[in-house]
Amino acid sequence: MSDPEIIGLIRRNFVPVALNLYEIREAKGPAGDFFRAVQKQAPELYQGLYVVTPEGKRLAAHGKAEDTPAKWTAAVRATLEQALKISGPLPARTDTRGDPPGLRGKGFDKDGSSLWAVYTRPMVLGLDRRGLGDHALDSIRISAEDWKAWSPPRDAVVGTRWSIPPKVGRKLHKVLSPTSDANTLARPDEVTDATLKLRITQITDGLASVRIDGHLAGIHTWQFEPNKGKKIRAAVGLLGIGTVHLKTGQWRSLTLVGEGLYSHFPPYDEPSRYGAVVEWCRD
């Protein structure tokens, strides 16, 4: 959906809705009912695109994996055009605004939790652009309780050090794959090392600058035949900076940059380099 023509087709003709499959298929009430009724009309789809009338009648759908971006783009265009053929010509939309963005990477939710933004990308030649792969986006939910573990000790001064408990550090497991695909990613319970060490480097007007050094590693067991049981390994070195108010213990910003090595299961286990960024800011 990064093709300019596809974007234009969608903006002009449809009311676009982005839904989390795991949430909407379980949702109680009319929204969940609407989606489940749509889903029944396209049982071949797991995730993908559905074009439906406001009454929930399927016009077109596509969710088949394509082996190239060009094929995916062509299939999406065909899906949209099929829907338009059924619905007939539509006047171009004049107001194409979407809903406000969520809390990813910024601020706090009502329960005091935050959603840290995660980005990963294959970087097989390090910082050389010729080795860059596609961006992957993900997020990490940090609960109010997790935040407490990130707070510096009381009476912290320049040079004060502390560590994040492994149980909380494992939440960064999303950095353990260059594609952030859950099928390739070590789950929190598969993280074998979650070391995060912090040190205050400077304090200005009660705001502490923090340096973060970390290392995460994990071994994920592949879940599907014929390779079920084979191991996927990843390890990431992390360096980061952040700022935290010493009086309240509340963080204001945090950025981690990581260099990782990923080994898919044998025989595709030649280690490949990738990068990761985790970031969040209060405001």
Partner 1 sequence: MWIATLLLVWAAAPEGLPAAQARAYELIRPSDKDLPWRQIGWRADLLAAIALAKAEKRPLLLWVAGDPPLERC
Instruction: Give the type of residue at 227.
Output: N
If binding is defined by CB under 8 A, does position 221 make contact with partner 1?
Answer: no
Q: Scanning residues 35 to 64, which ones bind partner 1 (CB under 8 A)?
A: 35, 38, 45-54, 59
| Per-residue binder mask for partner 1 (CB under 8 A), 189-208, x = binder | ------------xx------
Structure tokens at 78: 């065909």
If binding is defined by CB under 8 A, does position 83 make contact with partner 1?
Answer: yes
If binding is defined by CB under 8 A, does position 155 make contact with partner 1?
Answer: no
Contact present, 200 and 233 (Cβ < 8 Å): no
Residue closer to partner 1 by CB (options 165, 271) is 271
DSSP state letter for 170: G
Contact present, 218 and 176 (Cβ < 8 Å): yes
Instruction: Give the type of residue at 70.
Output: A
Which neighbouring-strand residues pair with 254?
242, 280
Non-local (6+) Cβ contacts of 33 within 8 A are none
What is the SS3 assignment for 209?
Answer: strand
Query: Cβ–Cβ contacts within 10 Å for residue 169, how many?
Result: 23
Reference 171, options 241, 112, 118; nearest CA is 118
Residue closer to partner 1 by CB (options 102, 112) is 102
Structure tokens at 201: 């480097």
Q: In the bound complex, what is the minimum distance in angstroms from residue 218's beta carbon to partner 1? A: 18
Residue closer to partner 1 by CB (options 168, 210) is 210
If binding is defined by CB under 8 A, does position 31 make contact with partner 1?
Answer: yes
Q: Which stretch binds partner 1 (CB under 8 A): 6-14, 149-157, 216-224, 225-233?
A: 6-14
How is the beta sheet containing 136-142 ordered, strand by strand?
136-142, 114-122, 272-281, 251-263, 231-245, 207-221, 191-204, 161-163
How far apart CA 283 and CA 27 sit, in angstroms, is: 31
Number of residues in contact with partner 1, rule: CB under 8 A?
Answer: 76
If binding is defined by CB under 8 A, does position 90 make contact with partner 1?
Answer: yes
| Per-residue binder mask for partner 1 (CB under 8 A), 228-267, x = binder | ---------x-x-x-------------x-xxx--------
If binding is defined by CB under 8 A, does position 127 make contact with partner 1?
Answer: yes
If binding is defined by CB under 8 A, does position 152 make contact with partner 1?
Answer: no
- The alpha carbon dihedral of 20, 25, 31, 36 has a sign of positive
If binding is defined by CB under 8 A, does position 224 make contact with partner 1?
Answer: no
Residue closer to partner 1 by CB (options 104, 282) is 104
Q: In the bound complex, what is the minimum distance in angstroms from residue 67's beta carbon to partner 1? A: 19
Q: In the bound complex, what is the minimum distance in angstroms from residue 47's beta carbon to partner 1? A: 5
Q: In the bound complex, what is the minimum distance in angstroms from residue 267's beta carbon to partner 1? A: 26
Among 106, 230, 231, 245, binds partner 1 (CB under 8 A): 106
